[in-house]
């Protein structure tokens, strides 16, 4: 880019310089030619004055401009030193009714190989008759003078070189942040992420580029972190049931004749059920982490909560439901969220679960149990994947350790929140979702 922009600016300046130089040269040439013609005409008029005073003999010692005086018979009667004794230099005559005329003539008899300005001036001689005065001088060349051509060449080259140098410097300084971004991006690629490209203080376009790159890197890091977390979660919790199954099978194979194979099969089925639940929850988390699109529409939160609360459970479920609490979301995911909360409450309640739904600027669902509750310092910890607290609320109590993390991610995916708030007894989970606007 530096080379292309520099070349473009240099060519543009060169074209502009050529145009300007040609214009200046043309103007100087026209001015010099005009001045030269005027000088020849004034010189011719002075010669006429000498003729009127009968002083033409003064021309014999004049070296300034070549002059010839022609009488009415066409004979050269006076001339300057350089053309003395030579034939008539030109046949140019003023047109009828005119006193003088000027013309550029080339290859005059005694000026071969060059072009001259020739002025022919007609006047009435003292003795009668029309005489002619010829004044001539070598015409100014198109470049005026060699020195002028040299000056113009310097004037042309200076801005072209300055444009090339200036463009290179400006483009280089402009692209310095891009080079730093590229270098940082290369380091990030080599090191596997976690870094960000530098954001320049100025250069708004490049700053926007750097910010966009950083946002993309942040999303990539988040995706990589979600992938690492998923792998860690899967390896963490799948290992235990698989190990238990392997231990039972190996033990049974050691003593095949003494093994109660139906009992082993039942134990394995129970472990497989747990393993299947873990895999299902992990797949749900992976889909939520990837922000997989789900079909969204109006969902009556009261209706869903009532349906889930009506499912047979080992603990009594009490509901206080306000009708017409409608949110926008995936009915399947919201059902999963409420089911996870009720399953968690069922595992830890002593005898009763309370489910409430109401609206007050937002949709609010509460699930309370009458168990031991959760200490305030652990109220965020329980939303971490595969978390263990005490024996009474550990995932070994029947859960996979993923129900509450899944519930929170579903809530956040719907623009809401899931928190644990104070209660007189047990744990109180509160879901808040935006009401549907229409």
How many domains does the chain contain in total? Answer: 3
Does the residue 194 lie in any domain? no
Residues spanned by the domain of 367: 297-433
Whether 247 is covered by a domain: the verdict is: yes
**What was the pLDDT predicted at 234?**
66
Using the predicted structure, report yes or no on whether residue 395 has a pLDDT greater than 50. Answer: no
Provide the pLDDT for residue 291: 67
Residues 314 and 265 in one domain: no
The pLDDT assigned to 293 comes to 58
Q: Do 307 and 270 belong to one domain?
A: no
Query: Has residue 192 got a pLDDT over 60?
Result: no
For residue 75, the model assigns a pLDDT of: 92
Could you tell me if residue 331 is inside a domain? yes
If one compares 279 and 125, the residue with the highest pLDDT of the two is 125
Tens of pLDDT, residues 70-98: 998 889 999 998 888 889 999 999 999 89
- Once rounded to an integer, what is the mean pLDDT over residues 141-157? 89
Helices vs. strands in the chain: H and E counts, helices first: 7, 12
Do 42 and 96 fall into the same domain?
yes
More confident residue, 291 or 313: 313
Question: What is the per-residue pLDDT for 108?
Answer: 86
Query: What integer pLDDT is reported at residue 295 of this predicted model?
Result: 73
Q: With bands split at pLDDT 50, 70 and 90, how would you rate the model's confidence at 248? A: confident
| 101 Cβ neighbours under 8 A, 6+ residues apart | 92, 93, 94, 95, 119, 120
User: Is 338 in the same domain as 383?
Assistant: yes
Question: Considering the entire predicted model, what is its pTM?
Answer: 0.48
Q: Please tell me the predicted confidence (pLDDT) of residue 346.
A: 92
Cα-Cα-Cα-Cα torsion 210, 213, 219, 222, nearest 10 degrees, comes to: -70
Are residues 278 and 314 located together in one domain of the fold? Answer: no
Sequence-separated (6 or more) residues with CB below 8 Å from residue 36: 117, 137, 139, 140
In this prediction, residues 365-382 reach a mean pLDDT of 91
CATH number, domain of 369, equals 3.30.565.10
Looking at residue 312, what is its pLDDT?
Answer: 87
Does residue 160 fall inside a structural domain? no
Q: Which of 276, 291, 306 is the last residue of a domain?
A: 291
What's the DSSP call for residue 435?
A: B
- Evaluate whether 108 touches 83 at the Cβ level (below 8 Å): no
N-term to C-term CA, the chain: 53
pLDDT at residue 37, as a whole number: 93
* pLDDT value, residue 275: 78
For residue range 268-301, list pLDDT tens digits in order: 888 887 777 777 777 777 777 666 656 789 999 9
pLDDT at 438 over 50: yes
Q: What is the pLDDT of residue 190?
A: 46
Structure tokens at 189: 């690629």
Helix or strand run (H / E) with residue 124: strand 111-124
Assess whether 311 and 426 both reside in one domain: yes
Average per-residue pLDDT in the chain? 85
User: pLDDT of 5-17, one tens digit each?
Assistant: 889 989 999 999 9
In tens, the pLDDT along 23-77 reads: 999 999 999 999 999 999 999 999 999 988 888 888 887 777 899 999 988 899 9
Quick one: 271 and 307 in the same domain? no
Cβ distance 102 to 93 under 8 Å?
no
* Predicted pLDDT of residue 391: 42
Q: Are residues 286 and 314 in the same domain?
A: no
CB-facing half-sphere around the CA of 403: CA atoms within 13 A: 23
């Amino acid at each position: 880019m530096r080379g292309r922009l520099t070349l473009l600016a240099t060519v543009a300046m060169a074209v502009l310089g050529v145009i300007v130089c040609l214009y200046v040269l043309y103007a100087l040439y026209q001015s010099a030619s005009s001045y030269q013609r005027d000088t020849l005409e004034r010189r011719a008029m002075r010669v006429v004055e000498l003729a009127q005073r009968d002083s033409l003999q003064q021309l014999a010692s004049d070296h300034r401009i070549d002059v010839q005086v022609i009488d009415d018979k066409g004979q050269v009667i006076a001339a300057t030193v350089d053309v003395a004794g030579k034939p008539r230099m030109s046949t140019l005559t003023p047109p009828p009714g005119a006193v003088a005329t000027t013309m550029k003539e080339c290859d005059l008899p005694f000026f071969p190989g060059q072009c001259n300005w020739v002025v022919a001036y007609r006047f009435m001689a003292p003795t009668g008759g029309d005489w002619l005065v010829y004044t001539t001088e070598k015409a100014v060349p198109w470049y005026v003078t060699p020195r002028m051509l040299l000056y113009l060449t310097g004037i042309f080259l200076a801005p072209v070189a300055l444009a090339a140098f200036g463009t290179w410097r400006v483009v280089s300084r402009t692209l310095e942040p891009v080079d730093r971004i590229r270098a940082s991006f290369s380091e990030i690629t080599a090191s596997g992420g976690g870094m960000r490209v530098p954001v320049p203080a100025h250069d708004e376009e490049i700053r926007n580029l750097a910010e966009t790159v950083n946002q993309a890197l942040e999303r990539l890091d988040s995706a990589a972190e979600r992938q690492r977390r998923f792998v860690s979660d899967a390896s963490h919790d799948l290992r235990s049931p698989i190990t238990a199954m392997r231990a039972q099978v190996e033990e049974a194979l050691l003593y095949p004749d003494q093994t109660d194979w139906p009992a082993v099969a039942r134990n394995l089925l129970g472990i497989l059920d747990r393993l299947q639940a873990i895999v299902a929850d992990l797949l749900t988390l992976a889909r939520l982490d990837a922000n997989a699109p789900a079909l969204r529409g109006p969902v009556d939160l009261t209706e869903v909560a009532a349906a889930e609360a009506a499912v047979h459970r080992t603990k009594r479920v009490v509901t206080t439901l306000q009708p017409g609490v409608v949110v926008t979301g995936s009915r399947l995911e919201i059902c999963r969220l409420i089911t996870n909360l009720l399953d968690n409450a069922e595992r830890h309640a002593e005898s009763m679960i309370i489910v409430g739904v109401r609206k007050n600027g937002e949709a609010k669902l509460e699930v309370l149990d009458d168990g031991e509750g959760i200490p305030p310092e652990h109220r965020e910890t329980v939303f971490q994947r595969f978390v263990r607290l005490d024996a009474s609320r550990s995932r070994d109590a029947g859960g996979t350790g993923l129900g509450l993390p899944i519930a929170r991610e579903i809530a956040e995916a719907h623009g809401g929140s899931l928190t644990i708030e104070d209660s007189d007894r047990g744990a109180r989970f509160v879901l808040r979702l935006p009401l549907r606007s229409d």
